[in-house]
Amino acid sequence: MNLKKLLLILFAMMFFIHSQAGDIKINKVEPPCWWIGMKEGFLQLMVYGDNITNTEPGINYAGVTIEQVHRTSNPNYLFIDLNIEKEAAPGVVPLVFNYEGENIGVYDFQLFKRRKDSEIRKGFSPEDVIYLLMPDRFSNGDITNDDVNGMLQKSDRSDLNGRHGGDIRGIVYHLDYIHDLGVTTLWVNPLLENNMPWFSYHGYAITDFYKVDPRFGTNQDYADLVQACHQRGIKVIMDMVFNHCGSYHWWINELPEENWINQWPVFTRTNYRNPVIPDPHSSQYDFQKMQKGWFDITMPDLNQHNPYLANYLVQNSIWWIEYADLDGIRMDTYPYAFQDFMATWVQKVLDEYPNINIVGEAWLQKESLTGYFKGDPKSRLGLNTHLPSVTDFPLYFALSKALNEEESWTGGLNSLYYVLAQDIVYHDPLYNVIFPDNHDLTRYYTSMQEDLDKYKIGLAFLLTTRGIPMIYYGTEILMTGEENKGHGFIRKDFPGGWPGDPLDAFVSTGRSPQQEEAYQYIKNLLNWRKENKAIHNGKLIQFIPENGTYVYFRTHGDESVMVILNKNITEKTVETARFMECLEGFSRGKSVITGDVIQNLSSLTIPAMSAEIIELIK
Ligand code: CA
């Protein structure tokens, strides 16, 4: 037996040594591996193991050195600062643990070659449309992983709040469906392990930051999913959660330091009041509760001001980008985490990957409060967050008002006009992620009162105004559900995603005539939008809504698109003289909706309750 094999076996057995200091054992090294050629040479390993503090780690590998070893109040942790030179060779770095001068164990720390130069990695952008899906509820591609030994919650498809068995393989099976639909980016709700006894399906109570939940698949399955997406020209966004973890996270009973999480004498819930963060008049009482209160009794609040945790989280993001070849990050509950840390986190990720994109979930009603979380020093009101994208909740609220309210000075379609007029608060509003609903909100078709005409107008708006649109799975087949009945109602299974489902809405024969009409409408717009530069990056010029119609243009170089939303229950003829600044030089147009050529632009007749999108022709 050679030495390496022996060491591997030793490690596999989780080595023990009995001494006066107690049994010594290694349970985990995180990150579990790394890459050479990173811009940042600093890497801090967290080693977790019984009495590991009593050991002295050592490395003998060209280009990799231990700079410092940190011990905390918990003897079961070591934090080891490494310096990895760019010139170091890929390979296995034996991380040796010594006790009283004797080598008592080795962790084979793997250094890989990077996939590609970090500059090449291009994140999602206004050219893209995101498809959001909840992996437990989209498709069950492998029934053998529905229940896994050691996992606290078993599957039960009859329980709206239970696990239904959806998984990564189910997503892979339907990638052609997703590609045909015309979306270009996939955001999957968190896939990391949630070994919680309840509500483990949604993924937001992470119990292991380095491991895909085995009921969804393996880490390799996730990396393979990303590659399968890339082969189809689809980018992938990973959903990350740094504000909290699950109460069954392995470190909760064994915190590296007492201040690893924000502790309270008795359970204290956050006030969920995001405006407390930008509010210049906030009380300390509200501020502390917002930042340090727990999101839920099952979700301990992480203290990103602990320097070891801060390193851990930054490295965790970089590890997943490199490991899975990601194109973007969606950061959950962005305002709830300490904002100085989040700004540093964004900077460090962007330092390593300058062209990747990050969207922060900032659930705020008002434009200026939303704008606070996204910005550069030129236009920001407070701290520079460096965050490239935010979720545009003000536009989400306005969309529902636009189509459900009567027209008034600021209501109805004017709601959209007024939100967009406030783009002054964003340094680059083209990068706002815009959406008609999501996994936390009443389903779009339900909020449109199951009116297919309204549904189409709203989607036409969403796919042509400024921003990066996001479509929640099932919107294309008119899935319904009210949030106030419970989250299970807005996260139902995609019909046809499970073996034996009576209807398969992934194929046209499984869709009702109305579902098919909706699907074809959205598919047509998505596939058209893919290639339209004016919609991606064009300037938005909007005209004040009049008489139940709202007209705007997107212009980019020679390309121009005119959009008319008609909310009237009658056909409307729009005289176009007031749009001359945008129509000058164009003689004709082509309807994106019908494909018809429009020969005369001087007046346009729009059918009742509909949207017209016209590509202008010189
Ligand atoms: Ca499954």
Ligand 1 centre to CA of 140 (Å) is: 5
* β-strand partners of 217: none
Binned at pLDDT 50, 70 and 90, residue 379 comes out as: low
Distance of CA 296 to the CA centre of its chain: 20
Q: Report yes or no: 243 and 333 within 8 Å, Cβ to Cβ.
A: yes
- % of the chain exceeding 90 in pLDDT: 91
Compute the distance between CA of residue 439 and CA of residue 187 in angstroms, rounded to an integer: 11
Q: Could you tell me which of 215, 220, 206 has the C-alpha nearest to residue 140?
A: 215
The string of pLDDT tens digits covering residues 302-349 is: 999 999 999 999 999 999 999 999 999 999 999 999 999 999 999 999
User: What's the rounded mean pLDDT across residues 437-446?
Assistant: 98
CA of 48 to the centre of ligand 1 (A): 31
Is the pLDDT reported for residue 25 higher than 90? no
Q: Is the pLDDT of residue 359 over 90?
A: yes
Q: What is the pLDDT of residue 17?
A: 44
Residue 375 binned pLDDT confidence (cut-offs 50, 70, 90): confident
How remote is the C-alpha of 111 from its chain's centroid? 28
According to the model, what pLDDT value does residue 7 have? 39
How many Å lie between the centroid of ligand 1 and the Cα of residue 152? 16
Q: What is the pLDDT of residues 256-312, one digit of tens each?
A: 999 999 999 999 999 999 999 999 899 999 999 999 999 999 999 999 999 999 999
- Mind giving me the DSSP string for 471-494? EETTGGGT----GGG-GGGGSPPP
Match 């998984």 to its residue by tokens. Answer: 167
pLDDT of res. 19: 47
Which CATH fold would you assign to the domain 539-617? Immunoglobulin-like (2.60.40)
| Cis status of the peptide bond prior to 31, with omega within 30 of 0 | yes
Q: Looking at the predicted structure, is the pLDDT value of residue 378 above 70?
A: no
- Residue 20's pLDDT is 47
Of 90, 76, 74, 73, the closest CA to residue 36 belongs to 90
Contact 282, 276 (CB under 8 A): yes
Q: Given this chain, do its domains 3-113 and 539-617 carry the same CATH topology? A: yes
Residues in the chain: 618
The CATH number given to 130-534 is 3.20.20.80
Res 115: pLDDT: 82
The rounded Å distance from CA 327 to ligand 1 centre is 26
| CA 404 / ligand 1 centre spacing (Å) | 39
| 473-502 per-position pLDDT tens digit | 999 999 999 999 999 999 999 999 999 999
Q: At what angle are helices 452-462 and 393-404 packed, to 10 degrees?
A: 140
- The alpha carbon of 2 and the centre of ligand 1 are apart by a number of angstroms equal to 41
Burial label for 600, CB within 10 Å (0-12, 13-18, 19+), is exposed
- Is the pLDDT assigned to residue 448 strictly greater than 50? yes
Full-model pTM: 0.95
Rounded to whole angstroms, the Cα distance separating 338 from 617 reads 50
Handedness of CA 313, 314, 320, 323 (dihedral sign): negative
Distance 441 CA to ligand 1 centre (A): 25
Query: Is the confidence at residue 231, as pLDDT, over 60?
Result: yes
Written as one string, the DSSP assignment of 71-102 is: E-SSTTEEEEEEEE-TTPPSEEEEEEEEETTE
pLDDT at 589: 97
Ligand 1 centroid to Cα of residue 148, in Å, is 10
Q: Specify the CATH number for 3-113; select among 3.40.50.970, 2.60.40.10, 3.40.50.720, 3.40.50.2300.
A: 2.60.40.10
Q: Which own/partner pairs from 557-562 qualify as long-range (CB within 8 Å, at least 24 positions apart)?
A: 557/533, 558/618, 559/532, 559/533, 559/534, 559/615, 560/534, 560/586, 560/615, 560/616, 561/464, 561/532, 561/534, 561/535, 561/592, 561/613, 561/614, 561/615, 561/616, 562/589, 562/613, 562/614, 562/616
Please report where in the chains the tokens 């020679």 appear, as a residue. 558
| pLDDT: which is higher, 116 or 598 | 598
CA–centroid distance, residue 207 to ligand 1 (Å): 19
Distance, in Å, from the CA atom of 551 to the CA atom of 576, rounded to the nearest integer, reads 10
Catalytic residues: 332, 361
Task: Report how far ligand 1's centroid is from the alpha carbon of 167 (Å).
Answer: 5
- What's the mean pLDDT in 159-167? 97
Spatial CA neighbour of 256 closest among 306, 215, 184, 323: 306
**Distance in Å, CA 141 to ligand 1 centroid:** 6
Per the prediction, the chain carries an average pLDDT of 94
Decide the pairing of beta strands 559-566 and 610-617: antiparallel
Does 119 have pLDDT greater than 60? yes
Q: Domain locations in the chain?
A: 3-113, 130-534, 539-617
What is the Å distance from ligand 1's center to 225 Cα?
15
Q: Are 135 and 239 in contact (CB under 8 A)?
A: no
Mean pLDDT of the 379-401 span? 88
Q: Give how far Cα 321 sits from Cα of 125, 206, 338, 371, 527, Å.
A: 17, 18, 22, 26, 28
The residue type at 575: E
Confidence label for 13 from pLDDT (cuts 50, 70 and 90):
very low
The encoded tokens of residue 489 equal 């109602």
Q: Greatest CA separation found in the chain?
A: 92
Distance 245 CA to ligand 1 centre (A): 23
